[in-house]
Amino acid sequence: MLGAPNNRKYIRLIAVVLVLPALLFTGCRCLAESRDGAFATGHYRNLFAANGHSQQEIRGKVDAAFQQLFHGDPENQSVYYPAGHNSNGPLAYITDIKHHDVRTEGLSYGMMIAVQMNKKAEFDALWNWSKTYLYHDSPAHPSFGFFSWEAKTNGAVLSEAVAPDGESYYAMALYFAANRWGNGRGIYNYKEQADALLANMRHRAPIRGPVFSLRRDTNSNFTVTAGALFNEEHKMVLFSPSSEHGAFTDPSYHLPAFYELWARWGPAGDKEFWMAAAAASRDFFPRAAHPTTGLGPDYANFDGTPVTNSWNRGAANFRFDAFRTAGNWSVDWSWWGKDVRERELSDRLQAFFEGKGMDRYGCQFTLNGQQLDDRHAQGLVAVNAVASLAAADPRSKKFVEALWNTPTPDGLERYYEGLLYMMGLLHCSGEFRVWMPQ
């Protein structure tokens, strides 16, 4: 009995010796991951250079694509259009040529491209147009604090509903602008605008009321209840905050790379939520992706299962929204390096598309790989190249070279294809970066 205390000390010592290395290993593994990502290192992989292209060639390709899409022939090349002035300065919009409308998706993508390219004039003009024509400042409106997702090129709203991918890119582009250029006044106090938008995206209280939408050339007002853009329980972005659509998500709206930055730069009280949202998205991607093809649906439930509904019967398939999902998980790996499953997903997806033929795979599929559309979409080529930021298999170089050999989109499809293409060039050249506070 006199030796029992010493025995207990000995047992505790043995436990420490056995457990401590495991704890240290776990801690070192997390630390290594955070040190490996571009956010920590400041090194952004130039996939084109790794394929043997010179920096002069790369710079020329990126600049030429921007010039064509933003300032090229307005009849066949450009998607960016100046639209006069108001008291805040110049206005400009980006239009979906095929559908003759303006969308928060395109406006916010255009702002992101502009800040990455150091094009402040274009950035400010797009933001001014967004705030002038699309922003809801009435506290009684269900979309208060957000933006109508769709309008005509003259600013007349086609739908007062909210599409959260636009708000997500607006917020991130505004933080980058604040960090790169500094803040101005009014709507050009970028950080103030981003903070307010981000707070609403999480906290905006539900509001019930009419929302206008033009459908099949018929003016309609729908009474809905709409609130925040993220589901608080699941820590996931909603496809829509409107009760009309129901509670589900869009895998291509998940942007964990951005959420990590919002946790650091956004309202201090929301840090834990955005970190949890990043982790939730990383867990979500493998659940939403098919175990063989790596393809994900346009819309999904919070558990990753595909959504089907009466107003979009193809939502359970890999379609145009779903193009973007692989880019989201690959950029997250490139910047943060926190979840090795993102590498596995890119390898799986690229293996599927390689098997379909590098120069002829289509752009719409069932999740198990049945091809539904033969068009070889330039935007999908671009995102599949971005997937190489995470991919480990050497085949990834083929996808980078496929983007290099793809011309800048023009003609009828140049809106969506062109914006994904432009962002793809920036990602693959190492020029799509985290702009840090100065």
Q: Which residues are catalytic?
A: 105, 321
User: How would you class 310 by CB atoms within 10 Å of its CB: exposed for 0-12, middle for 13-18, buried for 19 or more?
Assistant: exposed
Q: Are strands 157-159 and 150-151 parallel, antiparallel or unpaired?
A: antiparallel
The phi, psi pair for 243, rounded to 5°, reads: -65, -20
Phi-psi region of 191 (alpha: psi -120 to 50; beta: other; left: phi over 0): alpha
Q: Provide the 8-state DSSP code for 76.
A: T
Strand ranges of the sheet holding 150-151, from the earlier edge strand across to the other edge = 80-86, 89-96, 101-103, 150-151, 157-159, 207-215, 218-226
Contact between 179 and 199 (Cβ < 8 Å): no
Number of helices (H) and strands (E) in the chain: give both, helices first.
15, 11
Contact between 90 and 123 (Cβ < 8 Å): no
Residue 210 half-sphere exposure, CB side, CA atoms within 13 Å?
5
- Give the H/E segment covering residue 150: strand 150-151
* Distance, CA of 105 to CA of 416 (rounded, Å): 9
| CA Rg value for the chain | 23
* Distance, CA of 329 to CA of 124 (rounded, Å): 29
* Distance, CA of 106 to CA of 95 (rounded, Å): 7
Q: Are strands 236-237 and 230-231 parallel, antiparallel or unpaired?
A: antiparallel
* Distance, CA of 389 to CA of 423 (rounded, Å): 13
Give the pair of three-digit tokens for residue 39.
């956010």
Neighbours of 15 (CB within 10 A): 10
- Indicate the residue type of 148: S
Task: Classify 249 as helix, strand or coil.
Answer: strand
